[in-house]
């Protein structure tokens, strides 16, 4: 998705803006640009492709300035061209924008009738012209922006500068993330705090509808024209968290960080084999009341929710529904009393999940229906965390690779902790089961470490996928969502078409696809479905399919002709999906590297999908 960086300082901000944009590259983009104010002039440079292209152009021309805005664009309205790249300029105004202005066509018609010339196909350009136009009635840039925003429909975050206001930067947050980085004698804005970590660890998190004016030494935030206070919060993430270290890609680093990330996530909740007394304590009354759970999420986070459904129902007998947020938000679902609505999201900013949450809250309030809301999230300061009654953080550290890995497995660990908690509050979890699961949770990082030892074997297998065009992933029970997740990973980073299926569905359709060109990945933990899964493997082999099996070391599944096996260490059945995620991540990673794709920033995808 698009990214914004801006700054106002005594020093030149060019390098800070470029470094900020580089740190936003992981979000996905197709062009980049920057505008600086220098001697009452706007110096603008835009380039299609990587930030490196922009950096080269900026350095060749020695562009400098003490105030500036910069942007990475992920094309929505208009192709990825230089003209469509941000910042957009109208007269003395320059604007960067994340999000979508839904009524831009109507505004564009009006502005064209007034004589404004459009040089791009973007929705953003209307904002630049509207602010320029509003400045005919006021000398204040802030007032002009305040006049314009009520006219904009949609979701947006903005950064705006003006040549005659060479000491101020105006920013707006309305439905799209925006933070202010607080420096000493300098201030910054960004759509993602990671971009600003080299310059500050102190942030002001704007709320929806906030408009802020930044100078070098002041930050003023306004809502409906009134000054409001927003606290400054200190972040403990370190700059080094956002570097690849010894790894070739962020994705690989993040795969290897999973043992530690899971350890961190469970340590916040467990004391030995018991839950810490203060773990989600404030939610006890709500958890006691709930009769069922509704999970809302997208992509990989949705797959985590699918696994939690098995756990909620089998372990503690609490009915659980899971739905993709983009469907849930538009289908007017019945809001049921005493339901716990759980959003699962790595970023906490995914537009569909956030909208589904807000819609649910709105309708529950309007109809006086008692519900509770909760977020499972990797970003403590995210919108979802702030807008739900309760939250549980996955302590995975920043996840930069577009393909979600450690965020997924820590979501699973967090969900299991939540289920234990609700099971205890509702007295539905036997002591023996609590001990079994908590012991297994503590053991999980070690089993993942042992599984990572198979990296070379998985790399060897991946060579057999490079020339393939299609692939099937099969699993049963909690490994059906892992099959979906494996297929999602492979398609998003290697661009091989892949489908995940519940193995029992094979003969209801997908078996027709199986021939000797079709690799079939099997997830075979040692559970009560193993014999049935072995029958499914026979069905594939009988049709000439080539099997790639991640099988429990005690499953009895061995290598044979057209059956490749990687033995996964024995693991407690409940937690097996966490461990079996790892080989499918490694497989996708190696196939993608061998195919030469951009692993961390696959084409057309964004890390955080903050627009619809």
**Contact positions toward ligand M6R, by CB under 6 A?**
298-301, 345-347, 350, 353, 402-404, 488, 492, 608-609
Please identify, using beta-carbon distances, which residue of 301 and 372 lies nearer to ligand M6R. 301
Q: Which of 578, 563, 587, 446 is nearest to 525 (CA)?
A: 578
Beta carbon of residue 384, minimum distance to ligand M6R (angstroms, whole number): 8
Closest approach, Cβ 208 to ligand M6R, in A, equals: 18
Q: Are 573 and 61 in contact (CB under 8 A)?
A: no
Minimum CB separation of residue 352 from ligand M6R in Å reads: 8
87 three-state secondary structure: coil
Beta strands 219-223; 497-502: pairing state = unpaired
Q: Report the alpha-carbon distance of residue 49 to residue 53 in Å, rounded.
A: 7
Nearest CB to ligand M6R, comparing residues 376 and 437:
376
State how far the alpha carbon of 151 is from the alpha carbons of 103, 114, 128, 451, in Å: 9, 16, 13, 55
If the CB atoms of residues 350 and 555 are measured against ligand M6R, the closer one turns out to be 350
Alpha helices in 208-257 (DSSP H): 250-256
Q: Which of 22, 421, 489, 607 is catalytic?
A: 607
CA 608-609-610 angle, 5° bins = 100
Helix (H) or strand (E) holding 13: none
Nearer to ligand M6R, 536 or 610 (CB): 610
Nearest approach, Cβ of residue 302 and ligand M6R (Å): 7
Say if CB 553 and CB 565 are below 8 A apart: no
Which residue carries 């105030």 as its tokens?
A: 67
Which residue lies nearer to ligand M6R by CB, 210 or 485?
A: 485
Euclidean distance between CA atoms 374 and 209, whole angstroms: 23
Supply the minimum distance, in Å, between the C-beta of residue 401 and ligand M6R.
8
Structure tokens, 176 = 């799209």
User: Least distance from C-beta 353 to ligand M6R, angstroms?
Assistant: 5
CA–CA distance, 56 with 52 (Å, rounded to integer): 6
Query: How many CA atoms within 13 Å lie on the side-chain side of 195?
Result: 32
CA distance 565 to 554: 12
- Closest alpha carbon to 82 in 17, 34, 149: 34
Q: What is the DSSP letter of 175?
A: B
Q: Tell me whether strands 169-174 and 3-8 are parallel, antiparallel or unpaired.
A: unpaired
Q: Are 211 and 222 in contact (CB under 8 A)?
A: yes
Nearest to ligand M6R of 190, 353 (CB atom): 353
- Concerning whether 534 is annotated as a catalytic residue, the answer is no
- Cis peptide bond prior to 261, omega within 30° of 0: no
CB of 214 or CB of 606, closer to ligand M6R = 606
User: Which residue number has the CB closest to ligand M6R?
Assistant: 299
Kindly tell me which of 141 and 400 has the beta carbon lying closer to ligand M6R. Answer: 400
CB of 525 closer than 8 Å to CB of 576: yes
Smallest gap from Cβ 203 to ligand M6R, in A, equals 19
Is residue 377 annotated as a catalytic residue, yes or no?
no
- Radius of gyration, alpha carbons of the chain: 25
> Where do runs of H (alpha helix) occur along 350-478?
351-366, 383-387, 406-425, 431-452, 455-462
- Nearest-approach distance from CB 525 to ligand M6R, in angstroms: 22
The set of catalytic residues is 2, 607
């Amino acid at each position: 998705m698009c990214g914004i960086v801006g700054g106002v300082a005594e020093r030149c901000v060019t390098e800070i803006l470029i470094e900020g944009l580089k740190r936003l590259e992981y979000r996905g983009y197709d062009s980049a640009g920057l505008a600086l104010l220098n001697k009452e002039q706007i110096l603008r440079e835009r380039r299609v492709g990587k930030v490196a292209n922009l950096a080269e152009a900026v350095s060749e021309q020695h562009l400098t300035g003490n105030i500036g805005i910069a942007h990475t664009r992920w094309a929505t309205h208009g192709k990825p061209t230089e003209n469509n790249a941000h910042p957009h300029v109208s007269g003395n105004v320059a604007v960067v924008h994340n999000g979508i202005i839904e009524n831009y066509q109507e505004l564009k018609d009006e502005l064209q009738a007034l004589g404004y010339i459009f040089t791009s196909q973007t929705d953003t350009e209307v904002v630049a012209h509207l602010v320029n136009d509003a400045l005919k009635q006021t000398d204040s840039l802030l007032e002009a922006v305040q006049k314009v925003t009520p006219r904009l429909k949609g979701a947006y975050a903005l950064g705006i500068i003006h040549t005659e206001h060479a000491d101020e930067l105006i920013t707006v947050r309305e439905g799209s993330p925006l933070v202010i980085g607080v420096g000493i004698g300098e201030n910054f804005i960004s759509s993602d705090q990671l971009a600003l970590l080299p310059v500050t660890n102190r942030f002001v998190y704007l709320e929806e509808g906030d408009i802020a004016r930044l100078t070098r030494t002041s930050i003023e935030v306004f809502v409906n024209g009134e000054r409001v206070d927003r606290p400054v919060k200190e972040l403990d993430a370190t700059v080094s968290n956002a570097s690849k270290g010894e790894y070739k890609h962020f994705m690989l680093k993040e795969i290897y960080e999973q043992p530690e990330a899971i350890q961190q996530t469970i340590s916040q909740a467990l004391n030995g084999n018991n839950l810490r007394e203060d773990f989600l304590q404030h939610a006890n009354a709500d958890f006691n009341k709930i009769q069922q759970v509704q999970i809302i999420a997208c992509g990989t986070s949705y797959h985590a929710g699918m696994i939690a459904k098995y756990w909620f129902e089998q372990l503690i007998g609490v009915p659980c529904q899971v739905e993709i947020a983009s469907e849930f938000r538009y289908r007017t679902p019945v809001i049921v009393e005493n339901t716990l609505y759980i959003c699962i999201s790595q970023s906490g900013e995914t537009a569909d999940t956030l909208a589904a949450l807000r819609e649910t809250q709105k309708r529950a309030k309007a109809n006086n229906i008692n519900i509770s809301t909760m977020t499972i999230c990797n970003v403590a300061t995210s919108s979802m965390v702030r807008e739900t009654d309760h939250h549980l953080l996955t302590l995975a550290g920043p996840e930069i690779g577009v393909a979600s890995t450690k965020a997924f497995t820590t979501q699973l660990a967090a969900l299991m902790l939540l289920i234990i908690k609700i099971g205890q509050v509702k007295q539905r979890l036997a002591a023996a089961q609590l001990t079994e699961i908590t012991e297994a949770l503590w053991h999980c990082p070690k089993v993942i470490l042992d599984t990572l030892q198979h990296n070379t074997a998985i790399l060897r297998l991946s060579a057999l996928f490079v020339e393939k065009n299609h692939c099937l992933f099969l699993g049963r029970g909690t490994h059906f969502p892992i099959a979906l997740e494996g297929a999602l990973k492979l398609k998003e980073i290697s661009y091989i078409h892949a489908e995940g299926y519940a193995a029992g569905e094979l003969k209801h359709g997908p078996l027709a696809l199986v021939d000797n060109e079709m690799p079939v990945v099997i997830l075979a933990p040692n559970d009560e479905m193993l014999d049935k899964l072995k029958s499914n493997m026979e069905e594939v082999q009988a049709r000439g399919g080539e099997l790639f099996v991640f099988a429990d070391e005690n499953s009895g599944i061995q290598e044979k002709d057209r059956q490749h096996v990687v033995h996964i260490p024995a693991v407690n059945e409940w937690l097996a999906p966490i461990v079996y995620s790892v080989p499918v991540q490694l497989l996708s990673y190696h196939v993608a590297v061998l195919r030469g794709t951009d692993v961390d920033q696959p084409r057309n995808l964004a890390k955080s999908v903050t627009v619809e």
